[in-house]
A and B are shown apart, each in its own frame.
Chain A
Amino acid sequence: MKFAVPLILFAVLVGFLGVGLWRDPHLVPSPLMDRQAPEFHLVRLDEPNLSFSPREMLGKVWLFNTWASWCVSCREEHPLLEALSKADVVPIYGLNYKDKRDDALNWLNKMGNPYVLNVQDTNGRVGIDYGVYGVPETYLIDKAGVIRYKQIGPLTLKALEETILPMVRKLNIGLQP
């Protein structure tokens, strides 16, 4: 009884540390959530004399996936992107982040190309505007051009099935997810 107070304090401390142990410190919530996707004009990877801007996507729900040929986890998520692209549920646009054009094109030739198109962010400036701190990162952007979800790290089947695809469905028929 005499030690009830220290014991309770100890239990609380253990509780806090225990919760902390299971959290991923690399998942930093993005302040861009529910905000307008930053505007840019970047050169297209496939057609370097054409450019692309997210403004062109107004009225559509789309995925914006940052990737690079040097990025190992991008290989991990690539089969999922391919499957998603074949299923034709949501268009995938790519931000080729701090990559060399030839390397990126080779990668797409070898691995398959799930993207409607890619833009080249050679110096990583647009990546910074989007708060990218580790590729791959994927943004779900709604018809009004607002970022509705951000996947940090490779896409997973769980994230797709439980979060992203239900959101896409709702956003497409004009419901708030």
Chain B
Amino acid sequence: MNALLLLAMLFQPARAPDLDQRVMTLSEQFRCLVCQNETIADSHADLADDLRQQIREQMIAGRSDAQISTFLTDRYGDFVLYRPRVTPKTYALWFGPFLLLGGGLYWLYLFTKHSPSSSKLRTLSAEEHRRAAELLRIVADPNVAVYRDQFAELESDFRAGLVVRAQYDRDRDELERRLIEDCRE
């Protein structure tokens, strides 16, 4: 009998921390209704103390985590669940962000596909080169004078070896395209 008691005493303290751990782990899944941004495990509200005590007692009584969860939602509603259930009511919450992300990506795709930047790399036709040269030569507009300076600068950079051939061609095409565009208006 004494030996049994001793055994019981030996095992008793070992079980308590386990239970504490279980109570804390489960409490972390529930929202405290008083301090709504805290879990029942974290909150110091009186009600959270009481609910932790409830959870502990129900665990000792052998009820499962699911049963305890039902006990709480029956009284406080789904709001106590920190991780909302997937029900038709919460579909927007669960899947809405992915829909928005998908929609945003699709919109971005359409936007970049139709934007003029994708046609930038198209090389200019001979006709366009001629037109640009002509505009530079004959138009007295101050805006075109700015282009003239830019062409001169690009030209001198290229001569000085500061710009490689491919870059020079690309920049010149770009300048010519902008010049033609500006003079069209």
Residues of A within 8 A of B (CB): 5, 25-26, 28-32, 98, 123-124, 128-131, 133-134
- A123 lies within 8 A of B50 (CB): yes
Instruction: Give the residue name and chain of the B residue nearest to A33 (CB).
Output: B77
A14 to chain B, nearest CB (A): 15
> In the bound complex, what is the Cα–Cα distance between A31 and B77 (angstroms)?
5
- B50 lies within 8 A of A130 (CB): no
Q: B102-117 CB contact bits vs A (8 Å, 1 = yes)?
A: 0000010000000000
Say yes or no: is B144 at the interface (Cβ < 8 Å to chain A).
no
- B50 lies within 8 A of A28 (CB): no
Chain A residue numbers with a CB within 8 Å of B74 are 31
Partner among B34, B51, B73, B79 whose Cβ is within 8 Å of the Cβ of A134: B34
Chain B residue numbers with a CB within 8 Å of A5 are 107
> In the bound complex, what is the Cα–Cα distance between A28 and B47 (angstroms)?
15
B77 to chain A, nearest CB (A): 4
Given contacts A98-B46, A123-B50, contact A28 B33 (CB under 8 A): yes
- B46 lies within 8 A of A32 (CB): no
A21 to chain B, nearest CB (A): 16
- B75 lies within 8 A of A134 (CB): no
- A26 lies within 8 A of B50 (CB): no
Chain A residue numbers with a CB within 8 Å of B50 are 123-124, 128
Number of A-B contacts (CB under 8 A): 39
- A128 lies within 8 A of B75 (CB): yes
> In the bound complex, what is the Cα–Cα distance between A150 and B34 (angstroms)?
17
7 A-B pairs (CB sep. < 8 Å): A29-B79, A30-B76, A124-B46, A124-B47, A128-B51, A128-B75, A133-B47
Partner among A31, A98, A134 whose Cβ is within 8 Å of the Cβ of B33: A134
> In the bound complex, what is the Cα–Cα distance between A28 and B32 (angstroms)?
12
Say yes or no: is B150 at the interface (Cβ < 8 Å to chain A).
no
B118 to chain A, nearest CB (A): 16
Partner among B46, B51, B54, B79 whose Cβ is within 8 Å of the Cβ of A28: B79
> In the bound complex, what is the Cα–Cα distance between A131 and B50 (angstroms)?
12
Residues of B within 8 A of A (CB): 33-34, 36, 46-47, 50-51, 54, 73-79, 107
> In the bound complex, what is the Cα–Cα distance between A5 and B106 (angstroms)?
12
> In the bound complex, what is the Cα–Cα distance between A120 and B54 (angstroms)?
19
Known: A32-B75, A124-B47, A128-B51. 7 other contacts (CB 8 A): A31-B77, A31-B78, A124-B46, A128-B47, A133-B47, A133-B76, A134-B33
Partner among A26, A30, A128, A130 whose Cβ is within 8 Å of the Cβ of B54: A128
Q: 7 smallest A-B Cβ distances: which pairs? A: A133-B33, A131-B75, A31-B77, A28-B79, A124-B50, A131-B76, A133-B47
Chain B residue numbers with a CB within 8 Å of A30 are 76-77
> In the bound complex, what is the Cα–Cα distance between A117 and B34 (angstroms)?
28
> In the bound complex, what is the Cα–Cα distance between A124 and B78 (angstroms)?
21
B90 to chain A, nearest CB (A): 15
Chain B residue numbers with a CB within 8 Å of A123 are 50
Chain A residue numbers with a CB within 8 Å of B79 are 28-29
A79 to chain B, nearest CB (A): 26
- B46 lies within 8 A of A129 (CB): no
- A29 lies within 8 A of B33 (CB): no
- A26 lies within 8 A of B73 (CB): no
> In the bound complex, what is the Cα–Cα distance between A32 and B77 (angstroms)?
8
A103 to chain B, nearest CB (A): 16
> In the bound complex, what is the Cα–Cα distance between A30 and B80 (angstroms)?
11
